[in-house]
C-alpha cells in the first residue's frame, strides 16, 4: 500500500477522514516517473495539507507499506494492512480468526486501546 492512499481513504463505517496509520514494515520500491502531490492529507508526514504547506513527495513514492494498521479514532474500528493490501471491509465481512491472529502477531506495535476495545474484534472478544 502506498502512503498516498491515505489521502483518499475514509472509514467505511462512519466516514471519518483522515484515518490514523501505523506502519509495521516497509520496503523500498522504484518511484514512478510522474508524481502527484496528495490533496488533503499527507500520511507520510502525518499532516493535513493546505496551499502553503510544502512536502517532499519523492521519498513517499519510493516506499511500499508491507504491513500495518489503519485506525478510525471516531468509531474505534481498525483495518489491517497485510502483504501490501489494506483490508477495509464492513464488520459483517470480517473474519474473526484472521483479525485476532493479526492482533496477536503485531500486539507490541498496536495501540492498547485497539487491542482491548477495537471494533469489530479485539483481544478481549
Count CB atoms within 10 A of the CB of residue 81.
23
Question: pLDDT of 39-63, one tens digit each?
Answer: 889 899 888 887 666 667 888 889 9
Give the integer Cα–Cα distance in Å for 18 and 115.
21
Residues 6+ apart with CB under 8 A from 86: 1, 5, 9, 70, 79, 80
Report yes or no: 35 and 71 within 8 Å, Cβ to Cβ: no
Question: pLDDT of 3-12, one tens digit each?
Answer: 999 999 999 9
Domain residue spans in the chain? 3-117
Q: Which of 32, 20, 31 is nearest to 86 (CA)?
A: 20
CATH code, 3-117: 2.20.25
Q: Record the pTM.
A: 0.91
Residues 6+ apart with CB under 8 A from 54: none
Paired with 64 in beta bridges are 27
Amino acid at each position: 500500500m502506498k502512503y498516498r492512499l491515505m489521502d483518499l481513504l475514509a472509514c467505511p463505517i462512519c466516514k471519518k477522514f483522515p484515518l490514523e496509520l501505523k506502519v509495521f514494515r516497509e520496503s523500498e520500491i522504484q518511484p514512478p516517473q510522474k508524481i502527484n502531490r496528495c490533496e488533503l492529507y499527507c500520511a507520510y508526514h502525518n499532516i493535513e495539507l493546505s496551499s502553503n504547506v510544502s512536502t517532499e513527495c519523492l521519498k513517499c513514492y519510493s516506499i511500499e507499506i508491507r504491513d500495518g494498521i489503519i485506525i478510525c479514532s471516531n468509531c474505534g474500528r481498525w483495518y489491517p494492512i497485510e502483504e501490501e493490501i489494506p483490508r477495509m471491509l464492513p464488520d459483517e465481512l470480517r473474519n474473526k480468526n484472521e483479525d485476532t491472529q493479526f492482533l496477536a502477531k503485531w500486539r507490541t506495535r498496536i495501540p492498547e486501546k485497539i487491542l482491548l476495545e477495537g471494533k469489530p474484534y479485539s483481544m478481549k472478544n
